[in-house]
Structure 1
Amino acid sequence: MESRNDIKKVSCYPTIKGRHSPSVIVIGGGFAGISAARALQNSSFKVVLLESRHRIGGRAYTDYSFGFPVDMGAAWLHGACVKNPLAPVIGRLGLPLYRTSGDDSVLFDHDLESYALYDTDGNQVPQELVEHVGGIFESMLKEVMYCPVFTVLLAEIQMNALIHLNLQTEKLRQEISNDMSMTKAIAMVFERRPDLRLEGLADKVLKWYLCRLEGWFAADADTISLKYWDEEVLLPGGHALMVRGYRPVINTLARDLDIRLGHRVSKIVRDKMGVEVIVDNGKSFVADAVVITVPLGVLKSNSIKFEPRLPNWKEEAIKDIGVGTENKIALHFDRVFWPSVEFLGVVSSSTYSCSYFLNLHKATGHPVLVYMPAGQLAHDLEKLTDEAAASFAFQQLKQILPDASKPIQYLVSHWGTDVNSLGSYSYDTVGKPHYLFERLRIPVDNLFFAGEATSLDYTGTVHGAFSTGLMAAEECRMRVLEKYGNLDIFHPAMGHGEEEQLSAPLLISRI
């Protein structure tokens, strides 16, 4: 039996003329890690990627158990346009997109008319009420900044109560010195303007929209920051589902990379000479630098030990950025028995008891509904067996469609308890500054950081993770080549001209 001291370190680079060629270890095989590894390999670095799972993709996971692709993690392209950094590869692969929202809303990834909401007795909410309350909720939460154009627009459509609600919300945000939760902010607005309160069915619809807001951040509204909830920058083009899933994209980007699956990192040791990365089985790898792209939830768990410790400002960023959980329970049926809308929802008196289903049949043609619990409900359902969780989701469906047939198959995600993720994606928590996302990204010596939680503008998105991987790769390349004194002799394999030449139009539909 080998002892720890008997195990040899694995060098990530060959020796050339008495010295090493530039080398990097990338930790994490999601979009951030794969994009960083691809960029560094294209820059003639020796790259080894270590992934704890026995697959790549990270929190973008396309399952084929039903006989066709179903994304059980990331599923949307937020910003379906050529400006999206993932557009070139998606276009070249000819992957179809299904647009679910035509605008660039931070609140809705579906247009309001695509909802069919029901009360718990199975009665459908009138569509006029769904759209009216949705418009009030969206405008209530948007940052108006006293924009004259927006105010005139609202006046033109004679929504005076909505204007007052907007001004009250923005006034509240301007007045407070300390941050507060979205739940408290909404309650304070209605305390100030009791005439704006909704009652009965309309109030339940408002609770459903608040439930959808919680789904966007994968967290309960009483933990979401009023000051920073809308800091995310949205690309134009609206939101679109990846009809064939994200697997083809990640597989294409990972082609020809040296990827070691089943390699869970337990320790990272750094000094002026380089970095040593130790995995659970005791094997260690050495290189000039490391790009760390593991999910924020994994960093929070302290399952990876750093020697020496990370600086206090980095540890505080890891601790204070929030990580939410949204899971998916995919129900596969033998036939379609639900209306031809993109979202089915159950309205109720609390956000916890509201629910919603994504109708994949609209986008893919397959008879699948995906139940999507977030926040505390997601955590509670993860305590159940897969069978019990699927049964719970089906019972939610039966509330609104009593004649629903039982699913023939189901899939259940566990992003909150999966040791490889420990959460779905990051968000701004109450009382913590938004600049923490940038602090999480900033390198520490020869350690570089990437992933959706290091994106100041595109938090929680696939293209955000992808972009931070490219950014970390460039920072790493510059730093390592400075060390070698060869900063001017290495160039990315693909220049801007070639990238444009290889681009292809996105195939977007909404049928």
Structure 2
Amino acid sequence: METCNDFRKDSSYIKRRRSPSVIVIGAGFAGISAARALHNASFKVVLLESRGRIGGRAYTDYTFGFPVDMGAAWLHGACQKNPLAPVIGRLGLPLYRTSGDDSILFDHDLESYALYDTDGNQVPQELVKHVGGIFESILKETEKLRLEISDDISMAKAIAIVFETRPDLRLEGLGDKVLKWYLCRLEGWFAADADTISLKSWDEEVLLPGGHALMVRGYRPVINTLARGLDIRLGHRVSKIIRDKMGVEVIVDNGKSFVADAAVITVPLGVLKSNSIKFEPKLPNWKEEAIRDIAVGTENKIALHFDRVFWPNVEFLGVVSSSSYSCSYFLNLHKATGHPVLVYMPAGKLAHDLEKLTDEAAASFAFQQLKQILPDASKPIQYLVSHWGTDVNSLGSYSYDAMGKPHYLFERLRIPVDNLFFAGEATSLAFTGTVHGAFSTGLMAAEECQMRVLEKYGALDLFHPAMAQDQELLSPPLLISRI
């Protein structure tokens, strides 16, 4: 037991405590930001993390001798309005803007695509741009469709209906394959297949201005800075959370127990879905419904490190094909970071299928996709493979709106239950699936937790909003480049 008094046995627990206390579960961006804000508010904070590292689904790997983000890598909304801008700006971390477009469809500028067919012939750039415009028109038609129907349908079905009502938007031959590639990229945004994505809610996410930018040095410097000075217990996998009017008790796998006034739960939605954490008493039905019905997608990365650059100086290399499943795309890290690395990014069913392979076989599959379009490609000297879908600490990459499920479930997932507070990208109604979404919900949970606990202590006059903690009035501008 980590404290002298068990809140379930000692009714004078609160009165005798020297400072309010909180247990934060999960050391990703949501957990770290919540712990940082509560620590700054003079709370006693213990942060429990199941992994042997911090960062959660933001993981910067240095195996190649330089940083490669194998999880979150972009800042979506490269502007001062982004909640992470003050931290990134103060650290002077460089960003590489991949697109100034604020849409989810074009997170890279069209001129930075190099698409090929499976015979290795490059698709003319005029056709790439033309089909991009067609795909935008198709999505606008789906917007009209959802106003006409009462029940939700999948994006795949909606697009099929559009083709029936607007046959002029149909494409044949190579153009149709390029269209399938754009659908593949849309699926990559949600880490899910189009036949599971909600027509009603797919574009509910709020997109900040400034376009999309890669973290050139990775996210690790940001998470390390936010974590500095916090009491973080690595290798502490939570198995049970017990709550009552006096506080919470959190039990980890090795039997160790922690008690506090409240807990902030920031574990990934996939972990909550697995029921590996038992709640006593059980969570209310509305909370369990949110956990059950919000969908989690999977997108993985296979990073291939080469001894030389043999590919064109574009941001994306793509393979067009007759189905979105068989399309491929590679992120060119050399253009953004100067390192000879291509990152293959399978999503949805393809990501799940590749997770069944060994790392060597998965890397070989990615290389064979590359060989289709660049026959003279040299073999990689190193590779890295992520497993976000099967990793017991994540069980998925990020959340999205499933067909037939209301968007307000994300807000329900965030709402506190007694002295339990929830944060993470899946609790962000506006910024679902993003790092800044996770970060901002951590701050929000910290603020709500601080108010609730200080109210219990009769010390609300000591309350200072978490959002104002550790923030300078004027933060340095973001360092954004475009090579």
Report the TM range for the smaller structure's normalisation. over 0.9
Deviations 1:137-188, CA, capped at 9 Å, x for gaps:
123214xxxxxxxxxxxxxxxxxxxxxxxxx433311111110000000000
Question: 1:25: Cα distance to partner?
Answer: 0.1
Deviations 1:78-119, CA, capped at 9 Å, x for gaps:
000000111111011110000000110122211111100000
Deviations 1:20-76, CA, capped at 9 Å, x for gaps:
521000000000000000000111100000000000000000000000000000000
2:17 corresponds in structure 1 to 19
- Residues 502, 121 of structure 1: alpha-carbon distance in 2 compared, 3 angstrom cutoff: same
Question: 1:229: Cα distance to partner?
Answer: 0.3
- Residues 6, 445 of structure 1: alpha-carbon distance in 2 compared, 3 angstrom cutoff: closer
- Residues 283, 421 of structure 1: alpha-carbon distance in 2 compared, 3 angstrom cutoff: same
Task: State the SS of the aligned residue for 1:11.
Answer: coil
Question: 1:5: Cα distance to partner?
Answer: 15
Cα distance in 2 for residues equivalent to 1:493 and 1:208 = 43
Q: Is the 8 A contact 2:248 2:261 kept in 1?
A: yes
Deviations 1:427-478, CA, capped at 9 Å, x for gaps:
0000000000000000000000000000000000000000000000000000
Task: State the SS of the aligned residue for 2:462.
Answer: coil
2:227 corresponds in structure 1 to 254
Cα distance in 1 for residues equivalent to 2:12 and 2:431 = 32
Cα distance in 1 for residues equivalent to 2:405 and 2:66 = 42
Deviations 1:273-306, CA, capped at 9 Å, x for gaps:
0000000000000000000000000000000000
Cα distance in 2 for residues equivalent to 1:10 and 1:401 = 70
Cα distance in 1 for residues equivalent to 2:476 and 2:373 = 42
1:5 corresponds in structure 2 to 5
RMSD (Å) for aligned C-alpha atoms: 2.6
2:375 to 391, 397, 402: 402
- Residues 432, 2 of structure 1: alpha-carbon distance in 2 compared, 3 angstrom cutoff: closer
Question: 1:505: Cα distance to partner?
Answer: 1.2
Cα distance in 1 for residues equivalent to 2:317 and 2:10 = 53
- Residues 180, 7 of structure 1: alpha-carbon distance in 2 compared, 3 angstrom cutoff: closer
Deviations 1:185-225, CA, capped at 9 Å, x for gaps:
00001011223211000000000000000000000000000
Cα distance in 2 for residues equivalent to 1:41 and 1:56 = 17
- Residues 47, 3 of structure 1: alpha-carbon distance in 2 compared, 3 angstrom cutoff: closer
Aligned length: 483
- Structure 1 window deviating more from structure 2 (432-441 vs 130-139): it is 130-139
- Residues 56, 458 of structure 1: alpha-carbon distance in 2 compared, 3 angstrom cutoff: same
Q: TM-score scaled by structure 1?
A: 0.91
Task: State the SS of the aligned residue for 2:391.
Answer: coil
Task: State the SS of the aligned residue for 1:224.
Answer: coil
Question: 1:17: Cα distance to partner?
Answer: 7.2
Task: State the SS of the aligned residue for 1:501.
Answer: coil
- Residues 10, 493 of structure 1: alpha-carbon distance in 2 compared, 3 angstrom cutoff: farther
Cα distance in 1 for residues equivalent to 2:316 and 2:385 = 19
Q: Is the 8 A contact 2:447 2:467 kept in 1?
A: no
Q: Is the 8 A contact 1:12 1:47 kept in 2?
A: no
Cα distance in 2 for residues equivalent to 1:385 and 1:486 = 55
Cα distance in 2 for residues equivalent to 1:297 and 1:458 = 18
Question: 1:135: Cα distance to partner?
Answer: 1.6
1:506 equivalent to 2:469? Answer no
Cα distance in 2 for residues equivalent to 1:9 and 1:360 = 57
Cα distance in 1 for residues equivalent to 2:82 and 2:7 = 44
Q: Is the 8 A contact 2:114 2:314 kept in 1?
A: yes
Task: State the SS of the aligned residue for 2:343.
Answer: strand
Cα distance in 1 for residues equivalent to 2:332 and 2:471 = 35
Question: 1:308: Cα distance to partner?
Answer: 0.4
Q: Is the 8 A contact 2:451 2:463 kept in 1?
A: no
Structure 1: tracts of 5 or more residues without a match? 143-167
Task: State the SS of the aligned residue for 1:387.
Answer: helix
Cα distance in 1 for residues equivalent to 2:12 and 2:443 = 20
Q: Is the 8 A contact 2:301 2:385 kept in 1?
A: yes
Question: 1:409: Cα distance to partner?
Answer: 0.2
Cα distance in 1 for residues equivalent to 2:107 and 2:10 = 46
Question: 1:386: Cα distance to partner?
Answer: 0.2
- Residues 410, 8 of structure 1: alpha-carbon distance in 2 compared, 3 angstrom cutoff: farther
Q: Is the 8 A contact 1:9 1:284 kept in 2?
A: no
Cα distance in 1 for residues equivalent to 2:11 and 2:101 = 49
1:158 corresponds in structure 2 to none
Cα distance in 1 for residues equivalent to 2:466 and 2:287 = 32
Q: Is the 8 A contact 2:142 2:199 kept in 1?
A: no
- Structure 1 window deviating more from structure 2 (501-510 vs 62-71): it is 501-510
Cα distance in 1 for residues equivalent to 2:482 and 2:3 = 60
Question: 1:6: Cα distance to partner?
Answer: 13
Question: 1:7: Cα distance to partner?
Answer: 15
Question: 1:4: Cα distance to partner?
Answer: 17
Cα distance in 2 for residues equivalent to 1:12 and 1:256 = 30
- Residues 10, 217 of structure 1: alpha-carbon distance in 2 compared, 3 angstrom cutoff: farther
Cα distance in 2 for residues equivalent to 1:94 and 1:306 = 42
Deviations 1:404-428, CA, capped at 9 Å, x for gaps:
0000000000000000000000000
- Residues 310, 2 of structure 1: alpha-carbon distance in 2 compared, 3 angstrom cutoff: closer
Q: Is the 8 A contact 2:2 2:256 kept in 1?
A: no
- Residues 289, 5 of structure 1: alpha-carbon distance in 2 compared, 3 angstrom cutoff: closer
Q: Is the 8 A contact 2:454 2:462 kept in 1?
A: no
Q: Is the 8 A contact 1:27 1:294 kept in 2?
A: yes
Question: 1:403: Cα distance to partner?
Answer: 0.2
Task: State the SS of the aligned residue for 1:414.
Answer: coil
- Residues 129, 493 of structure 1: alpha-carbon distance in 2 compared, 3 angstrom cutoff: closer
Q: How does 1:267-416 map to 2 (within 5 A)?
A: 267-416=240-389
Cα distance in 1 for residues equivalent to 2:113 and 2:251 = 49
Question: 1:3: Cα distance to partner?
Answer: 18
Q: Is the 8 A contact 1:9 1:285 kept in 2?
A: no
- Residues 482, 238 of structure 1: alpha-carbon distance in 2 compared, 3 angstrom cutoff: same
Quote the sequence identity (%): 90
Q: Is the 8 A contact 1:122 1:401 kept in 2?
A: yes
Task: State the SS of the aligned residue for 1:488.
Answer: helix
